[in-house]
Amino acid sequence: MSANQPLTGHDRPGDPCTIVIFGASGDLTKRKLLPALYNLKVLKLLPENFAVIGVAVSESNDELYRTKITEDINEFATSGVDKPEWDDFVKRAYYISGDFNDAGTFTTLGSKIADVQKTHKLPGNVLFYLAVSPTFFAKVVDQLGKAGLTTETEDAWRRVIIEKPFGRDLQSARDLNAEITKSLHEKQIYRIDHYLGKETVQNIMVFRFGNSVFEPIWNRRYIEYVQITVAEELGVELRGGYYDQSGVLRDMVQNHILSVLSLIAMEPPTSITGDSVRNEKVKVLEAIRPMEPEEVIENTIRGQYGPGLIDGQNVPAYRTEPDVNPHSNTETFVAMKLKVENWRWAEVPFYIRSGKRLAARTTEVVIGFRRAPLLLFGKEVESEIPPNRLVLHIQPEEGITLDIHAKRPGPKIQISNIPLNFNYNEFGESSAATGYETLLYDCMVGETALFHRYDSVDASWRIVNPILDVWQALPARDFPNYASGTWGPKASDDLVVRDGHRWHHYPLATVK
Ligand code: BG6
């Protein structure tokens, strides 16, 4: 994956600022945020003048924190650690411990920010990153507001990055938004979705709007269906406590998958910055009509994994994972058919599926084109060959495949399906990245295109909420209904087969 230039094309470093990370001793901070900030520094996209203040409950101090993050970076950096770069980074790192419920923590934080700004001659810009449990989002923002830390001036911005999940249903998302907007303007809120930091997700926009050949056929006249698969081999691991209250619909569909879908389906924006992109994305979500209960039953499939084999190893059932209720009805798999009801997409099914403990780890978008209007080369032969398909491989391989029909060499006309493959790894320089670089950088330059505006969060909950309601009212009776290491319950296949399609999975190297 490349950490080269951000999508928005700025070639200056971020604004000088103080970065405050709530949840400084958590997993996200050590695995992603610190390595991403370090990568930005190496790329000269972090401002030369910056400071980082970690805030967490655990007792520590600046010195101990510096030692800890030095150990962490040596373990989690995405490539080697350059000593002079890290030395300069670490001397700008500070720590305060405190309870997020305690107003005193925020008074201390205010003084610490002021001291750090003085020491490093920093302007008043502060980026707050909420890498904490969602139960603290509203609390931390409220305390920041009460401590006067969210107030902007003409030459000092205050921005808050909020992790997912943003609410657990439509009402709680609305409540959370109402809470945080008491202390923040929408333009100060950066609702992060790490899928939008992925190189090949950003490439969807470049692919669609940087090439003139695809846009004219990017519609219902030429496209028969769209499939989005986000499959994981991992189970819930140590996150059973969170996941059992969530399920894949909330965990993956409401945010990551609907976000990818809106990039695939949106109209061309007038520019690739801020609200132009967000305006178009939200229109797609608003065009997906929330399902009636009977449509939920017809068009959605849920599953939960039982025991099975992953990479030749026996793995346990979801219900026996740590912190999971042994009678849990939480879904670990979903497949569904959605319709984007606008002129571009009317009647084109968008099939999406996602799950844990599936047969492979893959995220890919398959665009299935309609068959040629006249089969000139022998009906039997030609109808056995699938129509053209375009596959956007997002992970683990990153690239693009276009299947075309071509004549096999020889005197007879024999037609084969030929994959034209483009592998991102073979494309120019790339450096390892965490996927958070672009997002952190964009926040430091005030670029919002890759963050969710509240209207799109609301629109995606409006799509997901009726499904949650029906599933809650009619608990699944057949869980667990798929073995680990498979592609989910059979009903997921039936969902697409009844429309004359099937699910596709094409590893980039072996496209058939
Ligand atoms: C997170 C979900 O948002 O995304 C996890 O909470 C999931 O359950 C993860 O495993 C997948 O991210 P990635 O980048 O590995 O596809």
Distance 260 CA to ligand 1 centre (A): 14
Identity of the residue numbered 139: K
Of the pLDDT bands very low, low, confident and very high (cuts 50, 70, 90), residue 3 is very low
How confident is the model over 277-291, as pLDDT tens digits? 999 999 999 999 999
Q: Mean pLDDT in the chain?
A: 93
| 8-17, 39-48, 112-121, 331-340: the lowest-pLDDT one | 8-17
pLDDT above 70 coverage of the chain, percent: 96
For the cut 90, the answer to whether the pLDDT of residue 128 exceeds it is yes
Distance 337 CA to ligand 1 centre (A): 22
DSSP structure string for 57-114: SS---HHHHHHHHHHHHHHH-SSPPPHHHHHHHHTTEEEEE--TT-HHHHHHHHHHHH
Residue to substitute in 248, 252, 258 for testing ligand 1 pocket (most ligand atoms within 8 angstroms of CB): 252
Nearest atom, ligand 1, residue 395 CA: 16
Place of tokens 């034209």: 420
For the cut 50, the answer to whether the pLDDT of residue 512 exceeds it is no
Nearest atom, ligand 1, residue 195 CA: 14
What mean pLDDT is predicted for residues 60-64?
Answer: 95
For the cut 70, the answer to whether the pLDDT of residue 268 exceeds it is yes
Of the pLDDT bands very low, low, confident and very high (cuts 50, 70, 90), residue 431 is low
Is the CB of 199 inside a 6 Å radius of any atom of ligand 1? no
Angstrom distance (rounded) from CA 483 to CA 487: 9
Of the pLDDT bands very low, low, confident and very high (cuts 50, 70, 90), residue 430 is low
Place of tokens 């909020």: 162
Tell me which residue of 1, 41, 43, 44 sits closest to 19, measured CA to CA.
Answer: 41
Q: Can the peptide bond before residue 396 be classed as cis, meaning omega within 30 degrees of 0?
A: yes
Distance 221 CA to ligand 1 centre (A): 34
Residue 48 has a pLDDT of 93
Per-residue buried b or exposed e for 408-437, using 16+ beta carbons within 10 Å of the residue's own CB? eeeeeeebebebebeebeeeeeeeebbbbb
For the cut 50, the answer to whether the pLDDT of residue 7 exceeds it is no
Distance 356 CA to ligand 1 centre (A): 10
Provide the token pair at 90. 């670490």
| 209-213, 248-252, 320-324, 486-490: the lowest-pLDDT one | 209-213
Nearest atom, ligand 1, residue 164 CA: 3
Nearest atom, ligand 1, residue 232 CA: 10
Per the rule left: phi > 0, alpha: psi between -120 and 50, beta: everything else, 438 is alpha
- Name the residue with the closest Cα to ligand 1, atom 14: 195
Provide the token pair at 394. 């997002």
- Cβ(159)–Cβ(441) under 8 Å? no
* 405 has catalytic annotation: no
For the cut 60, the answer to whether the pLDDT of residue 104 exceeds it is yes
What mean pLDDT is predicted for residues 149-164?
Answer: 96
Distance 219 CA to ligand 1 centre (A): 30
Residue 4 has a pLDDT of 40
Of the pLDDT bands very low, low, confident and very high (cuts 50, 70, 90), residue 313 is very high
Q: Which residues pair with 367 in a beta bridge?
A: 226, 390
For the cut 50, the answer to whether the pLDDT of residue 400 exceeds it is yes
Q: Give the number of other Cβ atoms within 10 Å of residue 3's Cβ.
A: 25
Provide the token pair at 29. 């901070």
Higher pLDDT, 422 or 358: 358
Residue 401 has a pLDDT of 93
User: What is the reported pTM?
Assistant: 0.93
Residue 9 has a pLDDT of 54
Catalytic residue (one of 185, 194, 256, 405): 256
Task: Give the gyration radius of the chain's Cα atoms.
Answer: 24
Angstrom distance (rounded) from CA 461 to CA 167: 9
For the cut 80, the answer to whether the pLDDT of residue 509 exceeds it is no
Residue 511 has a pLDDT of 44
